[in-house]
Amino acid sequence: MNNSAKSSPDDLLLDYLDGKLEGTSLQSLKQQLEQSPALQTRLEELRLIHLHLSSARLESPSNDFVDRVMKNLSASSAAASALSPRNGLLLIIGILVAGGILAFMLSSGTFDNANGVISLEKAKPATKYIQYTLPSLPLKGKVILDSILGIAILLCLVVLDRTVLRPLFQKKTAF
């Protein structure tokens, strides 16, 4: 605390209430208090605050507090061990490498001709009593692989969030 703050009457009174004044400072304040009713009033105001705050005590949590912490700890340890940040990063790298190869193959036109038709007629049960024709489904390899690539990117983002970003932010807010 600086000197000017020390010299303020309130600071002297608060030091007095904290029991930090001694010697000549204490004698000087006592003399001032005897001569100044305003200072006495202020001391009483500050004493009220001091007494109220001094009643603060340690509070006790519920009886099963420890059990609940240990139970939550076991649950969170099980969840954390499922995918560590290191494993998460390895998984992301794996997905990105596979996705990169796929994207390269797609852009180089490897799957441009991978089109076909799935005929449901072959799956029809062989019976002479049911007479109908089943439709055929067009199959476009490029569209399917584009979808797989999209899902892989989405999966990467989810893994990144769950295994790397979320624990990192939790760690930052903890300290």
Partner 1 sequence: MISLQEEHSLIDRILAGDQGAYARLVDNYKSYAYTIALKVLNTRPEAEEAAQDAFIKAYRYLKNFNRQARFSTWLYRIVVNTAISYRRKNPHQLASIEHHDRAVEEGGGMENKDRQVFLGRAIDNLNDADRLAIQLYYIKEFSLEEVAEMTGQNMNTLKVRVHRARQRLADELKRLLKEEALTL
Nearer to partner 1, 44 or 112 (CB): 44
> H helices within the chain, ranges in order?
3-7, 9-17, 23-35, 37-54, 65-82, 85-107, 141-159, 166-174
Can residue 122 be called a binding residue for partner 1 (CB under 8 A)? no
Closest separation in Å from C-beta 37 to partner 1? 15
Closest separation in Å from C-beta 59 to partner 1? 5
Q: Quote the tokens at residue 99.
A: 């996705």
User: Going by C-beta distance under 8 Å and a sequence separation of 6 or more, which residues neighbour residue 9?
Assistant: 32, 39, 42
Give the span between the Cα atoms of 95 and 160, in whole angstroms: 11
Nearer to partner 1, 22 or 44 (CB): 44
Which positions from 5 through 34 interact with partner 1, judged by CB under 8 A?
Answer: 5, 10-11, 14
Can residue 105 be called a binding residue for partner 1 (CB under 8 A)? no
Give the span between the Cα atoms of 167 and 161, in whole angstroms: 8
Can residue 174 be called a binding residue for partner 1 (CB under 8 A)? yes
Residues that bind partner 1 (CB under 8 A): 1, 5, 10-11, 14, 42, 45-46, 48-50, 52-62, 65-66, 68-70, 72-74, 76-77, 80, 170-171, 173-175
